[in-house]
Chain A
Amino acid sequence: MKKKYFINANIIDPHNSLNENGGLIVGENGKIEGIGKKVNTNNIPSREKFIDLKEKYIFPGLVDMRVFVGEPGYEYKENFKTLSIAALSGGVTSVVTMPNTDPVIDNVSIVDFLKRRGRDKSKINIYPTASLTKNTEGTNMTEFGLLQNKGIIAFTDGTKTIQNTRIMTRIMNSASDLDSLIMQHAEDCELAKNGMINDGIISTKLGLQGIPEIAELVIIERDLTLLESIMCRYHISQISSAKSVNIIKKRKEKVKFTCGVSINNLSLNENDIGDFRTFLKLSPPLRTEDDRIGLVKGLSDGTIDVIVSDHKPEDEEQKRLTFAQAQTGASGIETLLALSLELFHNGSIKLETIIQSLTSNPAKILKIDKGNLSVGNDADFCIVDLNKPWIIKQENLYSKSKNTPIENKKLQGKVTNTFVKGEELFKLQ
């Protein structure tokens, strides 16, 4: 690989507290050799060609902590290859995949298959999770230790919650012993039973069974109470309500844990469901505008640590049904960054905070050396035209499934190039 020189870029690398105009040197080995304002035309050898980025932005490659891939079992929704292409077009270079496949990722033998497929078919960094319990049934723990040794990055039942408090206690104890990261989808299944959207005036008007916010609150409160006596690496996958933000803010003063939010809950509210738009049937559900504002504030003040895409590809057949019958989830990895940038453009959140919650924060939680532009590290990064306007169109999506919740939305800011280990794997046409 030829050495590459980029100059005149606005570089944001929260991990190294870098926010300045400068350049980036990618070595022949695909590692970062130099970064920052000291990289400029004055110290690049005259024989070398350099690329002037004309003040476009360089961000570390995004780390998306919540992604569903259809392998194994649902390849028709998304496979590693299509996921990889979709991710790269959105500036995402590392993903954490959910274990809700068929079969469920709950034993060592499947992990080998997964690692091999991920390596052979995708060009991004795949970090698979395994389930917390066998077949995500919430009863018998999986082998955290052995799975971890095989390369499992974290444990979660993905779309399901550990309901049984005794099991949760045991999971936390094991995670504590083995230094495992556990990620909880916080929703009391009895309170959320048959629920489809936020419980409130919209659900009452549409006649749809609601999911009350307390379904989320009781699980968060329970888990954090347990965490006070059993310290372990605990992460709440996604929160959806302003009340959850308040609880988490208070609890963080006493006990150490992290939490995430889906870009959908940061950008949309329950009113967007309109006339039964099944593409907005999500879990956790979209809630009120006050909740959305609460989440934005929570991200801004550091209560919420990461933004995830909650990328859940579903084929059209699963969405062309009545609201009750339609599958839950939205495609989102391609629009994660652009939609996040909307929060910067409209003045809600600082750009550094957004990039931090998409790069260095998730990497820190996962304990991986990604999401930064440190010298000597893999050159995983994206180049972004921060002001470029574009419109989301299903037909332009790279993902195998086209269930975007923001069809026809006007966005500002587009990834023009994405690099993994110094190799340019995406270039905007």
Chain B
Amino acid sequence: MAIKTNKAIKISQKHLLGIQDLSINDVNIILNEAGKFIELNRSKNKKLDILKGKTQINLFFEPSTRTQSSFDLAGKRLGADVMSMNITNSAIKKGETLIDTAMTLNAMHPDIIVIRHQDSGACNLLSQKVNCAVLNAGDGRREHPTQALLDALTIINRKKKIEGLRIAICGDILHSRVARSNIFLLNMLGAEVNIVAPSNLMPKDIEKLGVNIFSNMKKGINNCDIVMMLRLQNERMTSSFLSSNREYYEYYGLTPDKLDSAKQDALIMHPGPMNRGIEIDTKLADDINKSVIKEQVELGVAVRMACLKIFCK
């Protein structure tokens, strides 16, 4: 593969903190780069040396399987030295603040820090205190930019475009950083975005972001090209938002019956991990003709490789 460090890549941001900060040009640069890595990841020799000699620290304050392993793999495939730190809640309670942790790590001269944190804006705070680039792997309920980028890449791969598509994002919007990042990105790329959620899980004034809101799922996914399901985030629920999981499934779970109102060739997406039988029918999730959930995971590595390459200076 003839992929080399491209010094001419011009991105407007020093860090990748959220889609909100990116221009359409930035997004196109990232998606374009990511596209080049898809084939590499499917080939026998997956190792490059673009980031040889660079240090990447994965700083995860929240448990994560796919995002962390995806960033881990992406860094290694580009030849970076990758160190993953899992900082559990109990370690934070020992008293070290995020800023102190940042200063400690900064002293080790990393070239890039990937952070996931339970508080919105944690990556912004970190970025102000370190010298290297910071990539946001999810902050509270605010943003998860690489997830949105990989979703966009998946859609482009299948539908060849995003502009003009009708895309429904369904489920626990209130607690979802994936939803927020996707709303910003899909809007920017010219899709029509429908948001489907019970009122208790709909963030205030979200329609001001330029989306259509629905509390009825069939109406919300009517004639849609993409149905993006979100995980019901029980760990973020501080009080009763819903009466029960079974009622939620009845009204907001993606079932073949509800999917009928979407377009015939509609694709199903889910950022994972899935709660089968709560937000999505288990057979639909595995339906290779409709579900692109596995492809999302696959392209996630390519998107993260692109981000690491572009932001690592």
Residues of A within 8 A of B (CB): 190, 193-194, 199-201, 203-208, 210, 212, 275-276, 317, 320-325
- How far is it, in angstroms, between the C-alpha of A317 and the C-alpha of B99 when the chains are bound? 10
Which residues of the partner chain B approach A212 to less than 8 Å between Cβ atoms? 204
Given A207-B180, A322-B117 in contact, is the A201-B205 Cβ separation under 8 Å? yes
A-contact bits for B90-102, CB 8 A (1 contact / 0 none)? 0000000111000
Nearest chain B CB to A138 CB, angstrom units: 19
A207–B204 contact, CB under 8 A?
Answer: no
For B140, the closest partner residue in chain A by CB is A207
Q: Do A204 and B140 contact each other (CB < 8 Å), given the known contacts A193-B238, A321-B97, A322-B117?
A: no
Q: What distance in Å separates the Cβ of A272 from its nearest Cβ neighbour in chain B? A: 15
Q: Residue B99 contacts which of A190, A193, A320 (CB distance < 8 angstroms)? A: A320
Query: Could you list which residues of chain B lie within 8 angstroms of chain A, going by C-beta atoms?
Result: 20, 97-99, 117-122, 124-125, 139-143, 177, 180, 203-206, 208-209, 238-239
List, in ascending order, chain B residues with CB within 8 A of A317's CB.
Answer: 97
Q: Which of A199, A201, A207, A210 contacts B142 (CB 8 A)?
A: A207
B77 to chain A, nearest CB (A): 30
- Nearest chain B CB to A320's CB is how many angstroms away? 5
Could you pull out 25 A-B pairs where Cβ atoms are within 8 angstroms? Answer: A200-B204, A201-B208, A201-B209, A203-B204, A204-B204, A204-B205, A204-B209, A205-B20, A205-B180, A206-B120, A206-B121, A207-B120, A207-B141, A207-B180, A208-B120, A210-B204, A275-B121, A276-B120, A276-B125, A322-B98, A322-B120, A323-B120, A324-B118, A325-B97, A325-B119
CB distance from B177 to the nearest CB of A (A): 6
**Are A323 and B204 within 8 A (Cβ)?**
no
Instruction: Specify which chain A residues have a CB less than 8 angstroms from the CB of B122 in the assembled complex.
Output: 322
**In the bound complex, CA of A208 to CA of B124 (Å):** 14
Query: How far, in whole Å, are A199 and B203 apart by their CA atoms in the complex?
Result: 9
Least Cβ–Cβ distance between B152 and chain A, in angstroms: 19
Cα-based distance from A187 to B56 in the complex (angstroms): 45
Residues of B with C-beta under 8 A to A190: 239
Of all chain A residues, the one with the shortest Cβ separation from B126 is: A322
Contacts of A194 in B (CB 8 A): 238
| Distance of B267 from chain A, by nearest CB (Å) | 27
What is the bound-complex CA distance between A40 and B118, given in angstroms?
A: 67
How many residue pairs between the two chains, A and B, have CB atoms under 8 Å in the bound complex? Answer: 72
A207 to B141, CA, bound (A): 5
For the complex, what is the distance from the CA of A205 to the CA of B206, rounded to whole Å? 8
Contact across chains for B139 and A207 when beta carbons are under 8 A apart: yes
Q: Is the CB of A276 within 8 A of B121?
A: yes
Q: Which of A194, A204, A208 has the most CB of B within 10 A?
A: A204
Chain B residues with CB under 8 Å of A204's CB are 180, 203-206, 208-209
CA distance A349 to B312 in the complex (A): 53
* B209 neighbours in A (Cβ, 8 Å): 201, 204-205
Minimum C-beta distance from A403 to chain B (A) = 16
**Minimum distance in angstroms from A385 CB to a CB of chain B:** 37
Least Cβ distance of B61 to chain A in Å? 10
Distance between Cα atoms of A324 and B118 in the complex (Å): 9
Decide: A322 and B204 in contact? CB cutoff 8 A: no
- Is B119 in contact with A324, judged by CB distance below 8 angstroms? yes
10 further A-B pairs in the complex, CB-CB below 8 A; given A208-B140, A276-B121, A324-B120: A190-B239, A200-B205, A201-B205, A206-B142, A275-B124, A317-B97, A322-B98, A322-B122, A323-B121, A324-B140
The 9 A-B pairs with the shortest beta carbon distances in the complex, nearest first, are: A207-B142, A207-B120, A276-B121, A322-B119, A207-B141, A201-B205, A204-B203, A324-B119, A201-B208
**In the docked arrangement, what's the CA distance between A320 and B20, Å?**
24
| Residue in B97, B141, B180, B203 whose beta carbon sits within 8 Å of that of A320 in the complex | B97
Q: How far is the CA of A200 from the CA of B98 in the complex (A)?
A: 27
Instruction: State whether B204 touches A199 (Cβ < 8 A).
Output: yes
> Which partner residue on chain B sits nearest A322 by CB separation?
B119
B-side contacts of A323, CB under 8 Å: 119-121
Chain B residue nearest to A194 in the complex (CB): B238
A324 to B92, CA, bound (A): 14
Complex Cα distance, B117 from A326, in Å, reads: 15
Q: B208 — which chain A residues lie within 8 A by C-beta?
A: 201, 204
Q: Which residues of B contact A201 (CB under 8 A)?
A: 204-206, 208-209
Q: How far is the CA of A212 from the CA of B203 in the complex (A)?
A: 11
**How many angstroms from the CA of A322 to the CA of B125 in the assembled complex?**
7
Q: How far is the CB of A188 from chain B (nearest CB, A)?
A: 13
CA A321 – CA B92 in complex, angstroms?
A: 12
Are B239 and A193 in touch, CB under 8 angstroms? yes
Q: How far is the CB of A111 from chain B (nearest CB, A)?
A: 34
Report how far A323 CA is from B124 CA in the complex, Å: 10
The CA-CA distance from A4 to B181 in the complex, in Å, is 66
- When C-beta atoms are compared, the residue in chain A nearest to B99 turns out to be A320
- Cross-chain contact A207 with B177 (CB below 8 angstroms): yes
Bound Cα distance from A208 to B177, whole angstroms: 11
Question: Would you call A322 and B121 a contact (CB within 8 A)?
Answer: yes
- Rounded to whole angstroms, the CA-CA distance of A212 and B124 in the bound complex is 25
